Amino acid sequence: MTPKFLPDDVPNLTGKVAIVTGPKRGLGLETVHLLARRGCTVYLAGRGDLVQTIADLKKARPDVANAELYPLELDLSSITTAAAAADRFPGERLDIVIANAGISMNNSVAPSPEGWEHHFQTNHLGHFAFIEGLLPLLVESPEARIVVTSSEAYKFATKGIDFDSLRKDVDPSLLGLMGCMKRYGQSKLANTLYVRELQRRLLEKGVKNVYVNAANPGVIASTGLGGDGSQFGLPKFVPVALRKVGGALIGFNLQGGAMTQVWAATARNIVDEDIRGQYIMPAMGWSGGYHHSKVADPLDHAKDDEAAKKLWEVSVKAVTEAEAKAGHGGLN
């Protein structure tokens, strides 16, 4: 039987440096705590008053009262702002990036500043630009991990990513709900395909010390995602109730939800078993709750290497054009 993976089983991370995106609440904040309590220096990458977030975390969790936690302003809603955040990273070492931030059920009509649908922009393109800017540091690490938070929502996009649709206007009414779920699913499919292609390209260049994987946290009662229903004209209590009931019956608490991406970012199994470009999921114990994490076999459309290459090409083009328009150098 696979042994249970507990917070104390996270290896000693003293001397290692990590970035966690979306750190202000939910899975991101819990992930910061799980890393910091094992000695990791963590940069909290997001928007808002991150200094206050750090102060509140240290007050609420005495085991990280003396941890090295630092803010890093990151806005994933635009390619140029995401790329700029990577340029501003002040560290001289980087071992772990956990691309945890994301949005779901966002029915905003207006596209991103560069003209992309918001789920694809925030959940994929923003992280793509951010991570690309950090790769030179990650490659210099003795052993680096990149973990991109995905989800089973990739199954909403069984026909793959419709890139043309990501440039079209969004239906803001309740009738747009199914389309919204598809767009969110496409962004989660993009996360899963991206790690496959990034890992392939790194290995092709002879870079063997960077392990890239996607992590599905499982069903969580409260992640901060999904909105309150008002974007579709629904009463606020409806999605809240559905998340709580679903999380209670088949899901995990925040710590349990964060454990899979922490496992992917720290566990020795990743290196010992050469786990690369994979889709990792949590497993429940017999009494419920998180028990351990494991490599899963996603559906075929999430393993489509040609689709992954197309996604990469579209992403590079999007970042290059955005950076050129902003007067920056773009990708190497």
Q: Which of 16, 24, 154, 184 is catalytic?
A: 184
Is 184 assigned a catalytic role?
yes
**CA distances in angstroms from 93 to 96, 137, 254, 275, listed in the order given:** 10, 6, 29, 23
- Residue 172, both tokens: 């803001």
Half-sphere exposure of residue 271, counting CA atoms within 13 Å on the CB side? 11
Whether 98 and 147 have beta carbons less than 8 Å apart is answered as: yes
- Which one of 16, 24, 182, 188 is the catalytic residue? 188
Residue 52 in contact with residue 279, Cβ under 8 Å?
A: no
For residues 37 and 30, give the distance between their C-alpha atoms in angstroms, rounded to a whole number. Answer: 11
Question: Which helix (H) or strand (E) segment is 21 a member of?
Answer: strand 17-21
Start-to-end C-alpha separation, the chain: 46
Is 59 in the active site? no
How far apart are alpha carbons 208 and 110 in whole angstroms?
Answer: 41
Q: Which are the catalytic amino acids?
A: 184, 188
